[in-house]
Amino acid sequence: MTNAQLTAVTVSMPSLGENVPEGTVTRWLKQPGDHVDADEPLLEVATDKVDTEIPSPHSGTLREVFAEEDTTVAIGDALASIDTHSESTDTAPPQAAPPKIEPVAAPPRKRPVSPLRQHADGDTEKLPRIRQTIARRMVESLQTSAQLTTVVEVDVTNIARLRAQHKDDFLQRTGVKLSYLPFFAKAAVEALAAHRMLNASLNADCTEVTYHHGCHLGMAVDSDKGLMVPVIRDAQDLGISGLARAISDVAERVRTGKVTADELGGGTFTLTNTGSRGALFDTPIINQPQTGILGTGAVIDRVVPLRDPDSTWRISVRSMAGLPLHLLRPPHRRRGTLPRGSQTPARNGVHPQPPAVSR
């Protein structure tokens, strides 16, 4: 005879990425008494790096919650228990039916408490943990090292023409919109090979610097939950097409909440798209322990005076953009460290002969 029986299964805090020892429960998506399917989101958890949903490992009924919202739980510790249905084979002779027991009502659901506190002077709400972490780390970055911002204006007319010629075909072929960002990313990665100090990291007390062989490009992506910087590994191996796909993929993963903590670490240089909101330039803050971050301003068409090879002047409409580079200010210059403005590739335009889009 086959009988169905309930088995209580404990749901533990799963691994949330390398060097992430704990997570904070921000919201339960199910309440005791609710049915939950296997792999269905059960709760939301926040860490210093990312907010993520924890799926249920089994199908069943949520019996008990061990960690209330805003509770910090170590990796491997219990979060909740789920009653699952399992079948067993009973070969013993049939016995008299047990006395009927009335079902026990499920615990009442907690009424969600609004995070917004209203008062006479306005409304107040608690910042999510990730936004608290961002604010703390930005202040720590400025306190850790002396930083400066240098801004150059670049002529990207050739890139604008190339993009206009290929963007429709590129979208149809790859399903990804061709923006200016992969061109800026390609130019930055190539420039980093000549300026190793910007593709480097400092130790905690700023006494040693590590120069990285490969470029793991961080892409600053804003989302409803806060700013995150997913990393494109070995960006030096990608062409324009590969960078466009990678940038689109990491941005989508951040905005849909699918990015993992491991994808947010290990960057060696960061790119932030200041122009996405129409800004000409800003002063981005270095993502420690990196040594530099490049902003990409909005591309605008404006009238620019140009000098021809015969030294005559003419007026032309050009596509221009500002590139603010925020970097560490060293006590002295060394060979191969910081680029002089006149030597920066961007001074003469980003890729005067743009790279192929098909790569």
> pLDDT digit string (tens) for 176-186?
999 999 999 99
Q: What is the CA radius of gyration of the chain?
A: 27
Domains and CATH numbers, the chain: 2-107 (2.40.50.100), 130-348 (3.30.559.10)
Return the pLDDT at 17.
77
CB neighbours of residue 314 within 10 Å: 9
Please tell me which residue, 113 or 19, carries the higher pLDDT value. 19
**Alpha-carbon distances of 68 from 28, 43, 101, 334, rounded to whole Å:** 8, 11, 31, 54
Return the pLDDT at 318.
97
Determine if the pTM surpasses 0.75: no
Return the closest-CA partner of residue 289 out of 187, 186, 137, 131: 137
Return the pLDDT at 336.
43
DSSP E strands in 13-115: the ranges are 22-28, 35-36, 41-46, 51-55, 60-65, 72-74, 78-89
